[in-house]
Homo-oligomer: A and B are copies of this chain.
């Protein structure tokens, strides 16, 4: 399984890089300095995986034992430092990189959990946790409402779809390099199309609508 494990590391590192760039982009927007940019990139890129490895409980997280995981955040901070001033569409770019990280981490998180012997349901939950964990840390740290909870955005659903597909493909023995890339592309497309076309799910309360509430069901919040 050497080849497969190696492929998993590469997928994971690609996800780390995508998330790292999203962290450095947010740092630029928030006017952090270059150190803060590298640190926020590390937190986003490595946070989800560290949470995953701590929960699986199989020794120190890869991000701490394999120094190669430190390179993507440094690269991301450098990339944003040199190229950002010519960027036109900040939010679009952040969303695209974030979607790339999400697409790869929901796969690698689920696979790592399956490999550690968790049942498929638990593996899907952990895959989603890995995929959304880093972005959640990023947004909490930068004092933003997390994208995860933003009602203008479908964020967890693509990750959930990707993790479920991965677990199903693994269970029927059809998971390989090709299907992995297919799942990643699908999740990425799902997330980006949902964002461009402003797909929505209903609000948390029946009868309430965005930008105010429906007549006849207005909220009567009393403190």
Binding site for B on A (CB under 8 A): 24, 27-37, 39-40, 50, 54-57, 59-61, 64-65, 67, 70, 77, 80-82, 84-85, 87-91, 116, 118-119, 121-122, 125-126, 136, 140-143, 145-146, 148-151, 154-157, 200-208, 210, 217, 219-223
Contacts and interface: CB of A to CB of B under 8 A. Distances in A.
A65 B67 CA distance: 30
A155 B219 CA distance: 28
Contact of A222 (B89, B200, B221): B89
Contacts of A64: 55, 118, 122, 125-126
Contacts of A65: 118-119, 122
A103 to B, nearest CB: 18
A37 to B, nearest CB: 4
**Among A35, A40, A125, A205, residue most surrounded by chain B Cβ atoms (within 10 Å):** A205
A92 B103 CA distance: 40
**Among A150, A157, A206, residue most surrounded by chain B Cβ atoms (within 10 Å):** A206
Contacts of A91: 222-223
Contact of A55 (B32, B61, B126, B155): B61
A150 to B, nearest CB: 7
Given A39-B149, A151-B36, A31 B125 contact: no
A123 to B, nearest CB: 9
B125 A33 contact: no
A138 to B, nearest CB: 11
A57 B82 CA distance: 38
